[in-house]
């Protein structure tokens, strides 16, 4: 059996469609993966979830690796994203997080004393590294492996608010009330994130995506003060690793000029951003995106037409097809398969 499997080499991996696009090569076929593709809508994931808690699933490398690989058994997607959460590394700073199902923090951080007490205790989520190594060993040479983290500002939104929220009023009040403490927190989260992402690359991640899921809360001056400097440091801190650096911000069409300053190879845009405009605003970058996740519920012909419209808008440079935000938990599986076939069938030349 082993003799039938081609030996893995760096050269083989670097020729894969996903990594080519990450490096800016405009290819004949757009590679595709889907944000939040592991878990959620897959019955084989729900079967595991029925027997384990979310924390058990993320902390048990064999389970996390299995969940990461599940969508690859069904679909011919071009990259796998490790099953974990943006909140996972925070435990190493001594922060207790529960999931119900969104993250919740028993003691939200709203004082200098609390933030000053945050210090690294032990390794940062070593089980994520173990899971990445298991996935890498099982992954075909033509499929990329993506590690990820949350941006400091998005992590701070959860930590200060105490959990998810529509308006993040407490977070936004605290940002204005005590900006110096917020900066101290962002400093600590930045150092944590650089170490955590470097660990993921060392464990085999070909690319890293930074999720700025709450970018849309901020106006540009606020984003330039509390977001951008830290994101630049994180991406600069990964430069020597050779891993592809991908940045995703939700609801950030108004922040594109600032985002264009982030050193990274790929900018992932949400469904409200016109890819042709993003191409002009982000010269030389590979673009990723940006199908509205709700289109997976459209009639087949309408879904395919919308996918082709996006593929056309993505011409003129490297394009990695993706959704404009994470796939929804009840997404129809046959629509996902149809989308992937449609994208792979489209010739960009
Ligand atoms: O889905 C995947 O591809 C697997 C990995 C993954 C999870 N979270 C698993 C998860 C990824 C990439 C994330 C990222 C994440 N987590 C983001 C950034 C992406 C985005 O959607 O904007 C954010 C903001 C979070 C924070 C978070 N964690 C939320 C809002 C929730 C609530 C429920 C949900 O699924 O969105 C979680 C919990 C969480 N993270 C679950 C899973 C599978 C659900 C756990 C459960 O159902 O018990």
**pLDDT digits 0-9 by tens, 286-299:** 999 999 999 999 99
Q: What is the mean pLDDT of residues 75-82?
A: 97
Q: Is residue 101 in contact with ligand 1, taking CB distance under 6 Å?
A: yes
Interstrand relation of 97-99 and 103-105 (parallel, antiparallel or unpaired): antiparallel
pLDDT reported for residue 2: 32
Ligand 1 touching residue 86 (CB < 6 A): yes
pLDDT band at 264 (very low <50, low <70, confident <90, very high): very high
From the CB of residue 37, how many other CB atoms can be counted at a distance below 10 Å? 28
Q: Report the C-alpha gap between 42 and 171 in whole angstroms.
A: 34
Nearest atom in ligand 1 to the alpha carbon of residue 148 is 12
The pTM (predicted TM-score) of the whole model is: 0.95
pLDDT, one tens digit per residue, over 132-166 is 999 999 999 999 999 999 999 999 999 999 999 99
Mention every residue, 6+ apart, whose C-beta is less than 8 A from residue 24.
265, 284, 285, 286, 317, 318
- Asked whether the predicted pLDDT for residue 7 surpasses 60, the reply is no
Exposed, middle or buried: residue 41 (CB in 10 Å: 0-12, 13-18, 19+)?
buried
Whether 249 is in the pocket of ligand 1, judged by its Cβ within 6 Å, is no
8 has a pLDDT exceeding 50: no
In a 3-state reduction of DSSP, which class is residue 300?
Answer: helix
82 closest CA partner among 15, 13, 24, 143: 143
Going by alpha carbons, the residue nearest to atom 40 of ligand 1 is 85
Residue ranges in 269-332 assigned as alpha helix (H) = 275-281, 300-313
pLDDT higher than 50, residue 173? yes
């Amino acid at each position: 059996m082993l003799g039938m499997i081609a030996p893995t080499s760096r050269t083989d991996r670097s020729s894969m469609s996903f990594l080519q696009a990450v490096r800016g090569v405009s290819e004949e076929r757009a590679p595709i993966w889907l944000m939040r593709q592991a878990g959620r809508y897959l019955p084989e994931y729900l079967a595991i979830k029925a027997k384990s808690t979310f924390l058990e699933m993320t902390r048990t490398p064999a389970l996390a690796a299995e969940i990461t690989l599940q969508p690859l058994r069904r679909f011919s997607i071009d990259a796998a994203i490790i099953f974990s959460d943006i909140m996972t590394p925070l435990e190493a700073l001594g922060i207790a997080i529960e999931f119900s199902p969104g993250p919740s923090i028993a003691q939200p951080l709203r004082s200098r004393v609390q933030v000053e007490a945050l210090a690294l205790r032990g390794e940062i989520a070593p089980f994520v590294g173990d899971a990445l190594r298991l996935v890498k060993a099982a992954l075909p040479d033509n499929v990329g492996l993506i590690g990820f983290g949350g941006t400091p500002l998005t992590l701070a939104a959860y930590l200060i608010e105490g959990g998810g929220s529509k308006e993040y009023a407490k977070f936004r009040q605290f940002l204005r009330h005590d900006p110096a403490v917020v900066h101290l927190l962002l400093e600590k989260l930045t150092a944590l994130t650089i170490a955590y992402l470097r660990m993921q690359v060392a464990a085999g991640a070909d690319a890293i995506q930074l999720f700025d899921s709450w970018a849309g809360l901020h106006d540009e001056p606020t984003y330039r003060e509390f977001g951008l400097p830290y994101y630049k440091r994180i991406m600069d801190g990964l430069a020597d690793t050779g891993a592809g650096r991908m940045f995703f911000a939700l609801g950030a069409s108004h922040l594109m000029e600032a985002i264009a300053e982030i050193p990274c190879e790929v900018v992932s845009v949400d469904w409200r951003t016109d890819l042709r405009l993003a191409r002009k605003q982000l010269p030389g970058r590979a673009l990723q995106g940006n199908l509205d996740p709700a289109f997976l519920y459209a009639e087949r012909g309408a879904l395919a037409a919308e996918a082709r419209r996006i593929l056309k808008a993505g011409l003129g440079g490297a394009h990695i097809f993706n959704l404009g935000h994470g796939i929804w938990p009840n997404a129809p599986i046959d629509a996902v398969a149809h989308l992937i076939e449609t994208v792979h069938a489209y010739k960009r030349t």
